[in-house]
């Protein structure tokens, strides 16, 4: 009878020894199995700045550069993220028919004037929080990038990680506006307004669209480590236990805004006042009645109350209600020049870049943000040329076909 030991399974040590032998011979085996003539290194490498072709190229690099909580803060939205997804899907429901007489891109001039600011392209940088965690260049880098990209205006977030007094002088000749979240204390409101305006901000954007946000997906990810954590801006570093109404996802700093408060703000603001977060035609009319110089149609990029319509779907109604009395700006979901064209065709006078601009900064700093903005600018020019639109005024509802569902 044969020794029974020869039929036993090899020990863990013997198994590892066999694996080591296979690894030692791997180069020969790999060479024999490789059927792609390109060097293996070309399959797995990050693209460089000069190779960036679309905004999505930047997102991949951005994701690899930042920590998971910082990525989550940028990527996720409110609740089940229905609005986050619908903001993007809506662009798929708008077609741009080919023009019978397309024109050369060199003939396209999309310049305009917005609230006294001359713009080569109808694009702005939206207010988004905490840019230093994205890249050390932070808000200063974003402002420099925007200014270098044909003088693109930037709206600085209330939750800036760099004081406005340091950001404002960083790009001479640039246009910096500031975002403001309503404060129930009027004295505190005045302090904010004075800080922004004394620093040189030429306009104030009062944000009212952040109504009931709770970033569930991000909080779940942060809590996987077993520690009790609350939501921090981009870091998840807070360990305070939620108490009171906050235990039930009720944010007492919101849901109290009134038009009387907007009237009070209007008296404090020396330059243009923009109201960000309009999602209804009647509210747009009220905004005009209460002194708004422009409105921004926004659902906070899907980070406000979930299960509403996309901003693109409500844009035509609001633009019709405004009827040209004040500029109508638009945000939430812009990723391509074609997206910008569709928003302009449905009634926007300009668009604001949020997540996409953050991708550029987080991927390559100031240079990355500038290149991303310029890519979208040139994509817009190419789409306008293909649609036969030489001027901004040529882009109207006749240049698109909507199929909202």
Ramachandran angles phi, psi of 298, nearest 5°: -160, 145
Angle subtended by helix axes 216-223 and 68-75, to nearest 10 = 170
Measure CA 302 to chain center. Answer: 10
Question: Of 66 and 215, which is predicted with more confidence?
Answer: 66
Across the chain, which distance is largest between two alpha carbons, in Å?
A: 102
Q: Residue 341 in contact with residue 121, Cβ under 8 Å? A: no
The length of the chain in residues reads 405
Q: Does 302 score more than 80 pLDDT?
A: yes
Q: Do residues 305 and 251 make contact, with C-beta atoms less than 8 angstroms apart?
A: no
Instruction: Return d(Cα 202, Cα 193) in angstroms, integer.
Output: 11
Q: Tens of pLDDT along 176-205?
A: 999 999 999 999 999 999 999 999 998 999
Tens digits of per-residue pLDDT, 99-114?
Answer: 888 899 999 999 999 9
The architecture of the domain spanning 66-402 is Alpha-Beta Barrel (3.20)
The pair of structure tokens assigned to 51 is: 């190779």
Residue-wise pLDDT for 119-165, tens only, equals 999 999 999 999 999 999 999 999 999 999 999 999 999 999 999 99
As a whole number, mean pLDDT of residues 208-229 equals 57
Q: Are 298 and 268 in contact (CB under 8 A)?
A: no
Positions annotated as catalytic residues are 300
Q: Three-state secondary structure along the chain? A: CCCHHHHCCCCHHHHHHHHHHHHHCHHHHHHHHCCCCCCHHHHCCCCCHHHCCCHHHHHHHHHHHCCHHHHHHHHCCCCCCHHHHHHHHHHHCEECCCCCCCCCHHHCECCEEECCEEECCCEEECCCCCCCCCCCCHHHHHHHHHHHCCCCCEEECCCCCCCHHHHHHHCCCCCEEEEECCCCCHHHHHHHHHHHHHHCCCCEEEECCCCCCCCHHHHHHHHCCCCCCCCCCCCCCCCCCCCHHHHHCCCCCCCCCCHHHHHHHHHHCCCCEEEEEECCHHHHHHHHHCCCCEEEECCHHHCCCCCCCCHHHHHHHHHHHHCCCCCEEECCCCCCHHHHHHHHHCCCCEEEECHHHHHHHHHHHHHHHHHHHHHHHHHHHHHHHHCCCCEHHHCCHHHCEECCC
Separation of alpha carbons 98 and 100, rounded Å: 7
CA distances from 390 to 112, 161, 402 (A): 13, 40, 22
Minimum mean pLDDT among 252-261, 313-322, 335-344, 356-365: which range?
Answer: 252-261
Judged against a pLDDT cut of 90, whether residue 229 lies above it is answered with no
């Amino acid at each position: 009878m044969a020794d029974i030991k020869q039929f036993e399974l090899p020990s863990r040590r013997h198994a590892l020894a066999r694996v080591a032998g296979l690894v030692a011979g791997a180069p020969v085996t790999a060479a024999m199995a490789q059927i792609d003539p390109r060097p293996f290194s070309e399959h797995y490498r990050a693209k460089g700045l000069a190779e960036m072709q679309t905004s999505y190229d930047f997102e991949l690099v951005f994701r690899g550069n930042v920590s998971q909580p910082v990525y989550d803060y940028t990527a996720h939205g409110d609740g089940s993220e229905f609005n986050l997804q619908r903001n993007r899907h809506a662009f798929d429901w708008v077609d741009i028919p080919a023009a019978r007489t397309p024109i050369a891109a060199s003939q396209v001039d999309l310049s305009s004037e917005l609230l006294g600011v001359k713009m080569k392209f109808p694009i702005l940088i939206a207010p988004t929080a905490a840019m230093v965690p994205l890249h050390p260049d932070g808000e200063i880098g974003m402002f420099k990038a925007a200014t270098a990209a044909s003088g693109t205006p930037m709206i600085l977030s209330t939750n800036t990680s760099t004081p406005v007094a340091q950001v404002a002088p960083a790009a001479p000749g640039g246009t910096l506006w500031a975002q403001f979240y309503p404060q129930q204390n009027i004295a505190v409101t005045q302090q904010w307004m004075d800080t922004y305006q004394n620093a040189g901000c030429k306009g104030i954007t009062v944000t009212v669209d952040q109504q009931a946000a709770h970033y569930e997906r991000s909080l779940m990810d942060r809590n996987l480590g077993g520690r009790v954590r609350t939501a921090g801006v981009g870091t998840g570093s807070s360990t305070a236990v939620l108490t009171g109404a906050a235990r039930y996802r009720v944010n007492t700093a919101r849901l109290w805004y009134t038009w009387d408060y907007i009237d009070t703000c209007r008296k404090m603001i020396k330059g243009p006042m923009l109201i960000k977060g309009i999602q209804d035609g009647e509210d747009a009319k009220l905004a005009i009645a209460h002194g708004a110089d422009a409105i921004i149609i926004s659902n906070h990029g899907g980070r406000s109350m979930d299960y509403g319509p996309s901003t693109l779907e409500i844009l035509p109604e609001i633009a019709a209600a405004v009827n040209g009395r004040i500029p109508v700006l638009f945000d939430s979901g812009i990723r391509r020049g074609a997206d910008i064209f569709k928003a302009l065709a449905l009634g926007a006078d300009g668009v604001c870049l949020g997540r996409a601009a953050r991708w550029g900064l987080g991927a390559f700093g100031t240079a990355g943000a500038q290149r991303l903005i310029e890519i979208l600018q040139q994509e817009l020019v190419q789409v306008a040329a293909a649609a036969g639109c030489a001027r901004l005024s040529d882009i109207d509802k006749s240049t698109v076909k909507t199929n909202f569902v």
